[in-house]
Amino acid sequence: MTFTSTVLPKAKSFCQATQAQFEQFADFLLPRRCSVCMTELATAPALCPTCWMDLHFIKSPICARTGVPLPFDLGPESVSLSAMRFPPAYDRARSALIYNGTARQLIHKFKFHNRPEIADLLTPWLQTCGQDLLKDADYLIPVPLHLFRIVSRRYNQSAELARTLSKSSGVPMKVEWLRRVKKTSQQVGMIRDMRRKNLKGAFEVKPNKVDALVGKNIILIDDVITTGSTVTACAKTLRKAGVARIDVLSVARVVMHETVAV
């Protein structure tokens, strides 16, 4: 009898049995449910068929700059009229979903209901829509939250997404390299100039990380792009610090009617 051939397999099967019992007990206490409507499911985090059918994934053709869907395809370099008229401060943005229905509810639960495990559900969608951006990115940088908000929500949802995406893509994540130094008001209902004023001076690059960012390609990670003001303010701060390329990757975005320009 050798230790490796008999004792280890027995110990392994004991551990597997214990783990299975633990999982059964955990299921009894906390049944696996749809992340949105709480229907019981076989796995979690996951969505039930009804909630899944209400997701609207963004598909080509899209605007090469902002990533919004376009009504018809004029090639991979097509840009929407709004991006031509108001060129974004970032280079390219990509989002997996239109921000409505299930996507809106899912992000709301992820953000405000202490459900960090939802990041595991969202990350594969983020990775699929951002595959071109991830190819030669140096760092993932989450859109930062002010410390007060982190304390009230318990975590920064963008940092949770960046953490899981970094694990699956291999692109390093740098939390705290970009910091939120001003507590801003909620942007809802503000016009463009008010939003700009509200976010003025809100972000800074950590002073001892400026040299490490010069000439790099970074991807800003956010849960949702609504007006775009927050990612614009972050992109301007990073550009000023010398970052070469700034892309944005979000789970969802608000989509208005867009027209192709080029």
Residues in contact with Zn ion by the rule CB under 5 A: 34, 36-37, 39, 48, 51
24/39 with CB nearer Zn ion? 39
Report the nearest approach of Zn ion to the CB of residue 239 (Å).
41
Tell me how far, at minimum, the Cβ of 57 lies from Zn ion, in Å: 17
- Residues 6 or more apart whose CB falls under 8 angstroms from that of 84 comprise 261, 262
Distance, CA of 110 to CA of 90 (rounded, Å): 25
Nearer to Zn ion, 121 or 133 (CB): 121
Closest CA to 225 of 107, 115, 109, 117: 107
Tokens encoding 67: 């990533």
Specify the residue, 6 or 39, whose C-beta has the smaller distance to Zn ion.
Answer: 39
Residues 6+ apart with CB under 8 A from 155: 116
**CB of 224 vs Zn ion, minimal distance in Å:** 19
Question: Could you tell me the smallest distance in angstroms from the CB atom of residue 251 to Zn ion?
Answer: 17
Minimum distance from CB of 43 to Zn ion (Å)? 13
Nearer to Zn ion, 46 or 64 (CB): 46
Backbone angles phi, psi at 96, to 5 degrees: -80, -35
For Zn ion, which is the closer residue by CB, 125 or 155?
Answer: 125
Query: Comparing C-alpha atoms, which of 132, 153, 146 is closest to residue 245?
Result: 132
Q: Report whether 203 contacts 240 (CB < 8 A).
A: no
Query: CB–CB of 183/201 below 8 Å?
Result: no
